[in-house]
Amino acid sequence: MRAPGAIKSALGAVMSSVGPYDRNGSTNGHKPYRYSAFDLLRHGFSQADWPRAWRRHDPKSSYDVVVVGGGVHGLATAYYLAKNHGITNVAVLDKGYIGSGGSGRNTAIIRSNYLTPEGIRFYDRSVKLYETLSADLNYNAMFAQRGHLTLAHNDSSLRTMRWRAEVNKLEGVDSEVIGPDEIKKLVPFMDTSEDVRYPILGALYHPPGGIIRHDAVVWGYARGADALGVHIHQNTEVTGIDVTGGKVSGVRTKRGDIATPVVVNCTAGWSTLISDMVGVKMPVSTFPLQAAVTEPVRPFLNPVIVSGTLHVYVSQTDRGELVFGASVDPFTSYSMRGSLEFTEGLAGHVLELMPSLAKMRLLRQWSGLCDMTPDFSPIMGVTPVAGFFVDVGWGTYGFKAGPVSGETMAALIATGKMPDLIAPFSLDRFASGSLMGEKGAAAVGH
Amino acid sequence: MSMRLDHRPGEVIDRQREFTFTWNGEEYPAYGGDTIISALAACGERIFSRSFKYHRPRGLLTASFLDPGCMVQVDDEPNVRGAHRRVEPGMVVSPQGVWPSLEYDVKSANGAFGRFLSAGFYYKTFIKPRRLWPVYRRMLRRFSAGGTVSASPAQDYFDKRYAHPDVLVAGGGPAGMAAAVAAARAGAQVLLVEEEYELGGYLRWGDEAELAALRALREEVASSPGIEVMPNSVVEGRYDDNWVAVMQRDLSHVEERLVKARAKTLVVAPGLIERPYVFEGNDTPGVILSTAARRLINLYAVKPGERAVVFSANESGDAAAEDLARSGVEVARVVDARRGGDIVRVKGGGKGVRAVECSDGAEIECDLLVTAVGWTAPTSLINMAGDRPVYNERAARFFSSHLPDDVLTCGGIAGDGTLEELIEHARATGGEAARRAAKTARRLRGGIPLESEAPPAEISELPLYEHPALFRGKTHGIVDYSEDVTSKDLVTAEKEGYDSIELVKRYTTVTMGPAQGKLESVNAVAIMAETTGRTIEETGTTVWRPPYSPVTLGALAGRIFEPVRYSPMQPWHEIRGAKPLVAGAWIRPDHYGDPASEVLNVRENVGIIDVTPLGKFDLRGPDVPKLLNHLYVNRWDNLEEGRVRYGVMCLEDGVVFDDGVTGRLGPEWYVMTTTSSGAAGVGEWIDNWLQTAHPGWRIHVTPVTTAYASINVAGPKSRELLLRLTEGVDLSPDAFPYMRVREGRVAGVEGCFMWRLGFTGELSYEVHVPAAYGLHVWETLMQRGADLGVGPFGVEAQRILRLEKGHFIVGQDTDGLTGPYDVGLGRMVKLDKDDFTGKPELAWQSEINGRLQLVGLQPHDGSLVPPEASQIVEGESEIVGRITSSRMSPTLGRSICLGFVAEHLTTPGTKVVVQLPGGERVPASVTPHHAHYDPEGTRQRG
């Protein structure tokens, strides 16, 4: 791996080769369309068609920036490139439909109560962006800040909760440790008795945490990016990346070759395969993460509940379904089939927390792929190949970081300067030993 | 108004058993064998629920488990399939999600505003102002579907069972029954799983010839000894290697039971699901499927209406028309799709169907419309087996394209044919399934062919009949009844850019309801195909995921088994009122009432603590030193017999993973101890290295954590106490000095070993005795030491004692990034050893600066104990460390701490600022040693 200095100068070279951008916010001739209640009424009466949320294009022969991966990270990167930096000649490529990877498979939990100051600042910015996202994108992503409870079942996890609460407070993030009585008030269904196998000793309560409609985040960014002139190409699998003289020069896709000086790897599950195309090795292992959802029942659960000891997290959607997640499977795999053992263990753990849910029915299980790094933190920024950027290694916490990742990656690509928020997550930290300490807060930390 | 008919030849109701139950607050009569809905329909009820979004009245549609309008609340159980669940005397059944009542629902006003509530409308509004969004959201939540769970329901019993059938047949219709019989006759053990209460499938509501065939097949099944029949059970999922989940429902003593079967061959014979037709008003109560009409009439003797129109494209529709006529329903018209007939819309409202408008312009008054437009193949199980179903245009349904060897299909999912042809095909399939199972059994036995292998059976292919491709008519109607998604919604979504089946599913939520697409999926695909101008095959389907039908969390969990570990001395602790502490798998005494006096007793007299949870591994063989050198960062090839040594283990990333003491008891015999919480992890770690990297090392590893009860005897009088109990060991300081191990007899118990070491800083002996004698030795220590003041101490006292002594605890005073150089153990790391876990990382750690360091800390106000996790700060809010352990020291009479501080603060005497959780800041100083008490260690060496 190269020294950081070499990477920085390589970056500068790329950015000068991209040339000056049109900063006037050109939208390539497209007139954005705004949704509103009035508009809904108008369409209700006229029953006229709505305009496409994003358009279809044939891939152009060249773009200023090509983003690989049409999930929340890729689309947000493209959106902020166009919106904040006026870089609109951008393509987002996805091998399937947009949001078909982790963005459409996660459990849509948003929070910022991490353990390290760096992690907290980063995710806090993401929460702030999520709070105004619906208005910014003119697309209601239905962010519900219902509060987030991380349960402690033993004194060591209670100590970690206190640690997180203290660091959170110093960083200005609303977090506190609460006791079983307060937990019971927030979640009447919770079994807070002392004579159970894993008694609940307390919880880290994080009021700004909550859930969001994950697909709507993807579609909102896609629509916003499209309105600013970004091209979204679905069913466009990348088959190779061309590097000329140590610099990215283009991507090959199943729909033809595209010349570009900048490629951003915003994939998950396949991130190592994309980086391999330019010979960049990353310390990433891919594990399946399973999730499941129940049939809907009337709302009874407001906050998001997480138990690291029992490896489970639970929330109830506005539709009434309970959404469950767990820790990653204990082995690396690209399989997304799901297992019976997962649902058995999951159901047992949910019932240990809330025994009265025994007659609720599990409706569907699925799984996604998580790219785990050694320190449970992402890899963001430049690589030894000039023009090849990465925003990968998102483990089980990528969705909640979507907006801030897009914003910072866009700033890095446009300005050539590494934003402070993501400087701790650079690829070269594995060479310099500046690992992040998020294992404790991120492992089952939904 | 009774709709109950006279006796039908195939009826499943027991007219001798009449009882009542409650629906919607009123009493209703029922017969044994009735479903909740058939009993209500027999009383003339037509509306059983309100739809999810528009709150339209909903009645019967399929009269089966899938019926979307028949979900009801039964006592504390939500979302009960009322058209499947048998009604019981006294059952209290209520409609779900209606307000104020089923008949008059104010939210049905949504229906009038339906034109404004197009798919995804919520994404387009409620955006501004942001502060009102929580209000909107609460309003939207009122529309959530489903029943109610209560916070404290009756305790229900669920359990699990394993099964190892040679052949598992999913589906007990004619094909499944024939396949099961053929497989059993070929010598296979067969598990035959049927979703309904009896075997028979569509034969049950058939004509006399079909009923005769049903009787014959049932007799064959009953007389085949190798078949276990599971009625009212569903194959929920097929996982790798035919790991098959079966859910048994409604057993007499168990709510639901999960049967986990390793089937050698799986035969998928689920039959076909009748597909609804999409047109305006297709969800009006009184619009039902032909199979629903036939079930109602022939199984439950219920007349579905008074005057009917039948829209038929197949034999099922024709048979339904005949059934209706025979049961006294006036069949106003049969609209035959095969002759170009079509229906345009149903007119009606809250009370149900009023008239049907046909494509020729005729408007026929009626209260019942029966549709028979075709079939959907439930391909979920074969999809879970890795198959990608492909659409066949002639048969207008999906078929398997490539099945693994251990999965076969028969019945309607495999093709068409006469009953005889289908049964013949199923018999051949069952025989072949048995043959393949036998082949697998031989392979599992070790590949030795015990008999000559039979050749694969010839299974003739079934014909495919031509089925009309009827999905949507000339008008728009409901596609997904549970989700209230119309065909117009799908078209709109497609035009908005949600143009693949997966996107349209996510945007409109079509197929995401309780039926998971079994009724709706093909219609949704067909409408997408129609809108995009692609074929159904090009459009494709969404992926079917387990479970096949929703299963209770109770059944998946079964009898929750969370084992607890106790030491043999636990009864003694409990009698003495020890406060229990949950420590991973163990429950152990936290204290016996007053930890501070327990501490002082150890410092002044002698205390004993139960340390049985310490991880213990018996290591034997010539290569044990290699293993120790590999796992620990320090050196182990020179440990003499009779000595013990402290060691630290790191992971490959150089992070401290565990620590403990290992002693050498014989030339090739060592015992390793680990932390209590780390025992399982270290065990896996040892196995991992020995099995992957060093399979050649001659080492036997035996986990002996629970084979020995472990007692630490600590305090200045510990030697005196042990002298009274120990035989065969010279306890004098010269013969048994610090850091040595000895074997001997304690309290008359052979096979004990003890080492002079402990966590407390006092003269101490850790005594390991065979577990069965643990309580005896403990009690003897207490009796014989009474005059010395011996007392028990718990984990809390031990934590104070070790903190006074400055010993860190892995996981408390270290975290996921702490290396040995950060906690003052750098000198232990022997980088000149050949190789050991974490060496490259540690070599690099040894050279860098700037990491936090563990130090002893003394608050200036000795009466104040900063809570653990208090942060050490500089300036406004910069974090430069934290308190990892803190206690009031009974020995020193002041507070003591361990904590991490930034490198520039490590010099003894440096003043730091501790921020307490309340926000108050207090000063503390870095102490010269980690130990606050006896830093030279003279007491423990005594």
Residue B320's contacts (CB-CB under 8 Å, 6 or more residues apart) are: B290, B291, B293, B294, B310, B312, B370, B372
Determine the pLDDT at residue A15: 42
Judged by CB atoms within 8 Å, which residues 165-194 of A form the interface with B? 165-167, 169-172, 188-189
Which residue of A218, A340, A356, A366 to mutate against B (max B Cβ within 10 Å)?
A340
Give the one of A41, A338, A440 whose C-beta lies nearest to B816's C-beta.
Answer: A440
Determine the pLDDT at residue A20: 37
At A356-411, the pLDDT tens digits run 999 999 999 999 999 999 888 999 999 999 999 999 999 999 999 999 999 999 99
Higher-scoring residue by pLDDT: A146, A11? A146
Question: How many angstroms away from the CA of A227 is the closest CA of chain B?
Answer: 13
Q: B552–A362: do the CB atoms touch at under 8 Å?
A: yes
Give the one of A52, A234, A375 whose C-beta lies nearest to B496's C-beta.
Answer: A52
Judged by CB atoms within 8 Å, which residues 382-421 of A form the interface with B? none
Phi, psi of A154 (to 5 degrees): -150, 170
Q: pLDDT band at residue B816, thresholds of 50, 70 and 90?
A: confident
Specify the fold of B14-103+277-372: Ubiquitin-like (UB roll) (3.10.20)
Which residue of A162, A166, A352 to mutate against B (max B Cβ within 10 Å)?
A166
Distance of CA B593 to the CA centre of its chain: 40
Question: How many angstroms away from the CA of B8 is the closest CA of chain A?
Answer: 35
Q: A298–B125: do the CB atoms touch at under 8 Å?
A: no
High-pLDDT (> 70) share of chain B, %? 97
**What gap in Å lies between CA B122 and CA B754, rounded to an integer?**
71
Q: B867–A189: do the CB atoms touch at under 8 Å?
A: no
Token reading at B502: 């997966």
Q: Among the CATH numbers 3.30.420.40, 3.10.20.600, 3.50.50.60, 3.20.20.80, which is that of B158-271+379-445?
A: 3.50.50.60
Interface check A97 vs B, CB under 8 A? yes
Q: pLDDT band at residue A153, thresholds of 50, 70 and 90?
A: very high
At B32-54, the pLDDT tens digits run 999 999 999 999 999 999 888 88
Higher-scoring residue by pLDDT: A34, B685? B685
Q: pLDDT band at residue A44, thresholds of 50, 70 and 90?
A: confident
Determine the pLDDT at residue A26: 44
- CATH number listed for the domain at residues B566-614+705-805: 3.30.1360.120
Determine the pLDDT at residue B267: 98
Superfamily of domain B471-555: BFD-like [2Fe-2S]-binding domain (1.10.10.1100)
Residue B346 near residue B369 (C-beta atoms within 8 A): yes
Q: A295–B127: do the CB atoms touch at under 8 Å?
A: no
Query: B771 pLDDT exceeds 70?
Result: yes
Average pLDDT over residues B461-481: 94
Of the candidate ranges A1-5, B353-357, B498-502, the one whose mean pLDDT is the lowest = A1-5
Q: A358–B255: do the CB atoms touch at under 8 Å?
A: yes
Q: A343–B546: do the CB atoms touch at under 8 Å?
A: yes
Which residue of A175, A235, A293, A359 to mutate against B (max B Cβ within 10 Å)?
A359
High-pLDDT (> 90) share of chain B, %? 81
Determine the pLDDT at residue B611: 97
Phi, psi of B700 (to 5 degrees): -105, 125
CATH class assigned to B849-941: mainly beta
Considering only CB atoms, which chain A residues are within 8 Å of B811?
A: 156
Three-state SS for B697-726 is CCCEEEECCCCEEEEEEECCCHHHHHHCCE
Of the candidate ranges A35-49, B464-478, B740-754, the one whose mean pLDDT is the lowest = A35-49
Q: pLDDT band at residue B107, thresholds of 50, 70 and 90?
A: low
Give the one of A104, A197, A318 whose C-beta lies nearest to B562's C-beta.
Answer: A197
Going from N- to C-terminal start, the domains of chain B cover 14-103+277-372, 112-140, 158-271+379-445, 471-555, 566-614+705-805, 615-704, 849-941
DSSP state of A193: -
Q: A97–B502: do the CB atoms touch at under 8 Å?
A: yes
**What gap in Å lies between CA B706 and CA B708, rounded to an integer?**
5
Token reading at A7: 């990477």
Q: Is B18 strand, coil or helix?
A: strand
Query: A5 pLDDT exceeds 50?
Result: no
Q: B145–A134: do the CB atoms touch at under 8 Å?
A: no
Per the prediction, chain A carries an average pLDDT of 89
Q: pLDDT band at residue B136, thresholds of 50, 70 and 90?
A: confident
Question: How many angstroms away from the CA of A243 is the closest CA of chain B?
Answer: 32
Within B605-717, residue ranges assigned H as helices are: 624-631, 679-688
**Nearest residue on chain A to B81, alpha-carbon basis:** A361
Taking Cα atoms as reference points, which of B254, B546, B515 lies closest to residue A342? B546
Position of tokens 């929340």?
A: A72
Query: A16 pLDDT exceeds 50?
Result: no
Residue B375 CA neighbour count, 13 Å, CB half: 28
The single-letter code of the amino acid at B756 is: R
Mutual angle of helices A214-227 and B501-508, in 10-degree steps: 110
Average pLDDT over residues B861-887: 95
Three-state SS for A60-89 is CCECCEEEECCCHHHHHHHHHHHHHHCCCC
Q: A159–B817: do the CB atoms touch at under 8 Å?
A: no
Average pLDDT over residues B131-151: 79
Taking Cα atoms as reference points, which of A250, A229, A188, A187 lies closest to residue A29? A229
Q: pLDDT band at residue A12, thresholds of 50, 70 and 90?
A: very low
Query: B544 pLDDT exceeds 90?
Result: no
- pTM, two decimal places: 0.92
Which residue of B49, B73, B98, B123 to mutate against A (max A Cβ within 10 Å)?
B123
Residue B497 near residue A220 (C-beta atoms within 8 A): no
Token reading at A221: 């960014």
Question: How many angstroms away from the CA of A166 is the closest CA of chain B?
Answer: 6
Average pLDDT over residues B696-711: 97
Determine the pLDDT at residue B132: 78
Question: How many angstroms away from the CA of A409 is the closest CA of chain B?
Answer: 26
> DSSP states of B33-77 as a string?
T-BHHHHHHHTT----EE-TTT--EE--SSSSTT-GGGEEEETTE
Considering only CB atoms, which chain A residues are within 8 Å of B133?
A: 134, 140, 142-143
Judged by CB atoms within 8 Å, which residues 216-245 of A form the interface with B? 216, 219-220, 234
At A198-208, the pLDDT tens digits run 999 999 999 99
Query: B67 pLDDT exceeds 90?
Result: yes
Per the prediction, chain B carries an average pLDDT of 93
**What gap in Å lies between CA A27 and CA A22, rounded to an integer?**
10
Q: pLDDT band at residue B108, thresholds of 50, 70 and 90?
A: low
At A347-364, the pLDDT tens digits run 999 999 999 999 999 999
Average pLDDT over residues B110-128: 73
CATH class assigned to B615-704: alpha beta
Average pLDDT over residues A36-46: 78
Question: How many angstroms away from the CA of A87 is the closest CA of chain B?
Answer: 24
**What gap in Å lies between CA B466 and CA B396, rounded to an integer?**
8
Q: Is A16 exposed, middle or buried (0-12, 13-18, 19+ CB in 10 A)?
A: exposed
Determine the pLDDT at residue B115: 67
